[in-house]
Amino acid sequence: MTADIYTARRQRLQSKIQHGIAIIPTAPEVARNADTHYDYRHDSHFYYLSGFAEPEAVLLILAGEQPQSILFCREKNLEREIWDGFRHGPEAARTHFGFDAAYPIAQLDEKLPELMGNQSTLFYPLGADAAWDARIIKIREAVKAKARSGIRAPHEIRDVRDLLNEMRLFKDTHELDIMRRAAHISCEAHRRAMRHTRPGQFEYEIEAEFLHEFCRHGARHPAYTSIVAAGANACTLHYVGNNARLNDGDLLLIDAGCELDSYAADITRTFPVNGRFSAAQRDVYEIVLAAQYAAIAAAHPGKHWNDPHEAALHVLVQGFIDLKLCHGSVDSVLESESYKQFYMHRTGHWLGMDVHDVGEYKTGEQWRTLQSGMTLTVEPGCYIRPSDKVPHEFWNIGIRIEDDVLITASGNEVLTQDAPKTVAEIEELMRHD
């Protein structure tokens, strides 16, 4: 049963906490204008521990002699449910999601001082939300005020995210199953985009192909705003205007992935609008692709976090020298960082419930060792803005190739390998009769 997964995660957190109380609120609803809201997205930590997707909810986890997990959530309200839809209410939430107790959120301020009393440590995401910080601090002050009755307030506040980030860094089989499906849907969307792209269309028409493909597979939202960047727009790393016309001869860089059941896919593909790479485009593309293969080959258990980046960088720098974009030896270009004119970001990030997922990249001063169960992106690129120091045929070429990779016991699994990325695969898929 799915509830068992969340119960087991709460128990793991309890054993890490040992003694104390953890308070984990979900995300607030955010007004868009008047009485409409942005699409609601729960807090990832809260959902990771509860599976509960409604707004206005808080999870309390007590560890120690009498471990308990308690949910505070919205009450049933038939009038509101007629307008806005189903709410579990505390009783159904308790049984459905396996909490020890559940109460109406309106009772939080009244019940929390009692639950917080005599707990040594408060585990809380301090600084994540100012309104929650003020509320929790006020409740702790109210507990302190009971000192003469022999009740002690937690004397220590620790950031519960330090524990949760580490738990979330290692994906369990339930999570990997969802991530594989998110990856599959997103690969299908990239294939669809390659099939539908023609000169003369607008970037937003291709964005629409992604939204269509995501949604029709049950992934109602992209994991982040899709980047659909034609020609020079691809050299703006976070371009999201998506409103320019696709010109014959341009490349189209698309960084888009869906969110499915709270997990992200994050894929970038770059392909020619007219289905055929020019010689200059192909030269740069093959370098980025070789860099990506090198980085994936370095994403193995026992390697450290920075190894894939360093592997990609070596291939890119050699390629930049070969194309006369950079000058000197590989070592001197790395030393001077002149490559940063064309490659200014890192080669990946953790991936999970958040597209830039939680988890430390270093242990002390050392880059973290890659281990089975970690998921990351591998996304080298090359972005060439016009410059009189750069051969003209390369101007405005922007290329990134991004895959999602699971570290396994024996190596890795590329979750997104169904999205074509060799020149031959792309040109074959885009060939129109």
Positions that interact with ligand GLY (CB under 6 A): 224, 255, 266, 349, 355, 379, 402
> Which residue in the block uniquely carries the two structure tokens 């524990």?
163
| 55 versus 359: smaller Cβ distance to ligand GLY | 359
- Note the maximum CA span of the chain: 85
For ligand GLY, the closer CB: 266 or 307:
266
Cβ-based nearer residue to Mn ion, 262 or 268: 268
Q: Which does 41 bind (CB under 5 to 8 A by kind): ligand GLY, Mn ion, none?
A: none
Choices 16-24, 112-120, 295-303, 398-406; region in contact with Mn ion by CB under 5 A: 398-406
Taking the least distance from each CB to ligand GLY, the nearer of 55 and 381 is 381
Contacts of 87 (CB under 8 A, 6+ apart): 54, 73, 74, 75, 76, 77, 80, 81
How far apart are CB 349 and ligand GLY at their closest, in Å? 6
Whose CA is closest to 415, among 175, 228, 252?
175
Which one, 203 or 266, has the nearer CB to ligand GLY?
266
Nearest 5°: phi and psi at 252? -125, 120
Using CB positions, name the residue nearest to ligand GLY. Answer: 255
Choose one: 143-151, 276-284, 298-306, 395-403; the region binding Mn ion (CB under 5 A).
Answer: 395-403
Strand-strand pairing, 156-158 and 121-123: parallel
Beta carbon of residue 403, minimum distance to ligand GLY (angstroms, whole number): 11
Q: Is 403 in the site for Mn ion (CB under 5 A)?
A: no
250 binds, among Mn ion, ligand GLY, none (CB under 5 to 8 A by kind): none
Amino acid at residue number 368: R
Which of 124, 224 has the CB closer to ligand GLY? 224
Compute how many residues bind Mn ion; rule: CB under 5 A. Answer: 4
Considering only the stretches 50-58, 160-168, 261-269, 329-337, report the one whose residues sit in contact with Mn ion under the rule CB under 5 A.
Answer: 261-269
15-42 burial by CB neighbour count: b if 16+ within 10 A, else e?
Answer: ebbeebbbbbbbbeeeeeeeeeeeeebb
Stretch that binds Mn ion, among 21-29, 134-142, 250-258, 272-280 (CB under 5 A): 250-258
The CA-to-CA distance between both ends of the chain, in Å, stands at 49
Residue whose CB is less far from ligand GLY, 46 or 224:
224
Residue 222, Cβ neighbours under 10 Å: how many? Answer: 21
Residue 255 found at the interface with Mn ion (CB under 5 A): yes
Nearest distance from residue 216's CB to ligand GLY, in Å?
Answer: 22
How far lies 313's CA from each of 295, 327, 373, 376, 379, in Å? Answer: 9, 15, 25, 17, 11
Q: Which has the closest alpha carbon to 96: 45, 65, 39, 54?
A: 54
Closest distance of CB 400 from ligand GLY, Å = 8
Please give the positions annotated as active site.
Answer: 35, 238, 255, 266, 345, 349, 356, 379, 383, 400, 402
175 binds Mn ion (CB under 5 A): no
Smallest gap from Cβ 340 to ligand GLY, in A, equals 17
- Residue 401 CB, nearest distance to ligand GLY (Å)? 11
**Neighbouring residues of 127: CB distance < 8 A, sequence distance ≥ 6:** 133
Q: How many residues does the chain have?
A: 433
Which of 380, 416, 183 minimizes the C-alpha distance to 298?
380
In angstroms, give the least distance from the CB of 188 to Mn ion.
Answer: 17
Residue among 401, 428, 429, 396 at smallest CA distance from 280: 396
Q: Following DSSP, what letter does each residue of 321-363 receive, concatenated?
A: HHTTSS-S-HHHHHHHTGGGGT--S-S--B-SSSSS----SEE
Selected range binding Mn ion among 144-152, 213-221, 292-300, 374-382, rule: CB under 5 A: 374-382
Report if residue 347 touches Mn ion, rule: CB under 5 A: no
Give the footprint of Mn ion on this chain (CB under 5 A): 255, 266, 377, 402
